[in-house]
Amino acid sequence: MTVYELIFTTRQPHKYLRHILFWIAHSLFWVFWAGAFFVDYKKWVSFMWELHLKYSLLITIGYTYLVVYFLLPRFVAQKKYALFGILLFFFTGLFYTLYVLNFFRIKNEQEPSTDNQILMTWYFSMNFIINGPPVACAIFLALKMLKTYYIKIEEKQLLVKENTQAELQLLKAQVHPHFLFNTLNNIYSFSLTQPSHAGTLVLQLSNTLRYMINDCAAVRVSLEKEIQLINNYIGLESVRYGNRLTMQTSIKGDYEHKMIAPLLMLPFVENSFKHGIGMMRGPQWINLELLIQDNRLYFTISNSKPLQPAPTNGNEGIGLINVQKRLQLLYPQQHELKIESTESIFTVYMQVALQEQSVPVETGNPNVHAQLLPYA
């Protein structure tokens, strides 16, 4: 049994061992501390040990368990503070009387005394206050409260972790239909004008969905696959705009065997198409730059934007808000996000810490080494 199990176990009879060890430690301290005030140390330690075990210990244990396991749960937990105070005062007085009378009885049995009774009462009373049942009860209760506090902290941390995971799953689930809604609209629009290319677009969408379903459930995914996802998305969108879109992409650095949270970059790329060039006529442009350096990803995307924003029915920026929340949850103090918007240009700068991938992920796709290609 480890120390942790000994302190926090609720199994029987293991938890009784914890109580036994406490009272052994308390008894040793009480005896050696009390005996230290006498000249004949060994004699008084032996005497105090016998005195404590036979007479004082049972009174102390009884008082402690009465307060901790009866009065506190029944009255303090029920917010009956006045009744608790009255009963605590009564039982403390009762155990004080038993404690003092017991010491008088023992002393008279060993050696009838003619000492001043008031002085002896004061001595036994001070012993009750300084090292008697109330002190032992206070120490016992303090340790119990510390243990309870530690358990609550652990439960709170577990709850926060579970809530965080639930929130991440919710945000990720919101990304999927948002992306699918926009992409299916694009395929539908393209199928009306150039039906011969609809099959290619459906295949690209199929690969994208396969990645989302199979891989995006993980907390971290391959950066290489995320780049492939962006490449597929750009392919789906670019054919829709034809020659009026100038798409410049650049990727620098080693992006193999790096891990990143899924679907962090896609909403920014999607936003550039949906709320940027998708709202404008005539020639437009998007510049996308990826730099991987010192296990950090530097992501920059900028696009032309309409001078007059089009109506959005309150749906604009859903993807951006989700990414901001996920960055705060997944990369606390490990990311930077800056969004700039001028009259004609919208720009996003993002930095996140990357993780090394210890074992290369099998993709099952011979074209896994994605390259971001410029579209003109």
| pLDDT average, residue stretch 64-70 | 92
Interstrand relation of 345-353 and 335-341 (parallel, antiparallel or unpaired): antiparallel
pLDDT at position 201 is 78
Instruction: Decide: residue 253, CB within 10 A, 0-12 exposed, 13-18 middle, 19+ buried.
Output: middle
Residue in 307, 310, 285, 293 with CA at minimum distance from that of residue 351:
293
**Residue 303 CB contacts under 8 Å (≥ 6 apart), including other chains:** 272, 276, 277, 284, 285, 286, 287, 345, 346
Residues 143, 151: Cα–Cα separation, whole Å: 12
Cα radius of gyration (the chain): 37
pLDDT digits over 256-276, tens only?
A: 889 998 888 888 888 888 776
Query: Is the separation of the CB atoms in 58 and 132 below 8 Å?
Result: no
Per residue in 215-247, pLDDT tens? 777 778 899 989 988 888 888 777 767 788 888
For the chain, the average pLDDT equals 77
- In the chain, what are the domains? 3-131 (no CATH), 166-356 (3.30.565.10)
Q: Convert the pLDDT of each residue in 87-142 to its tens digit.
A: 999 999 999 888 888 777 766 665 655 556 677 777 778 878 877 889 889 999 99
Q: Per residue in 153-211, pLDDT tens?
A: 887 777 666 656 655 565 555 555 656 776 687 778 777 777 777 777 788 788 877 88
E strand map for the chain? 221-222, 245-252, 258-260, 284-293, 296-304, 335-341, 345-353, 355-356
Of residues 300, 287, 9, 313, the one with CA closest to residue 147: 9
- The residues, ordered by sequence, that sit 6+ positions from 249 with a Cβ below 8 Å of its Cβ are 234, 287, 288, 289, 372, 373, 374, 375
Structure letter (DSSP) for residue 195: G
Characterize the bridge pairing of strands 284-293 and 245-252: parallel
Contacts of residue 91, defined as CB under 8 A and 6 or more positions apart, other chains included, come to 63, 66, 67, 71
320, 317, 297, 321: which is closest to 226 by C-alpha? 297
- Among residues 213, 215, 323, 289, the alpha carbon closest in space to that of 259 is found at 215
As given in the structure block, the two tokens for residue 197 are 């290319």
Q: Is the dihedral of CA 231, 236, 237, 238 positive or negative?
A: positive
Say how many C-beta atoms besides its own lie within 10 A of residue 163's C-beta: 11
- Contact (CB, 8 A) for 323 and 295: no
Task: Give the lowest-confidence range in 163-167, 306-310, 344-348.
Answer: 163-167
Q: Are 260 and 357 in contact (CB under 8 A)?
A: no
C-beta separation of 95 from 125 below 8 A:
no
Model confidence band, residue 252 (pLDDT cutoffs 50, 70, 90): very high
Render 242-282 in DSSP notation, one character per residue: GGGEEEEEEEES--TTEEE-TTSSHHHHHHHHHTTGGG--S
What confidence score (pLDDT) does residue 36 get?
A: 57
The 3-state secondary structure of 3-15, one letter per residue: HHHHHHCCCCCHH
Alpha helices in 71-132, H assignment, sequence order: 81-110, 117-131
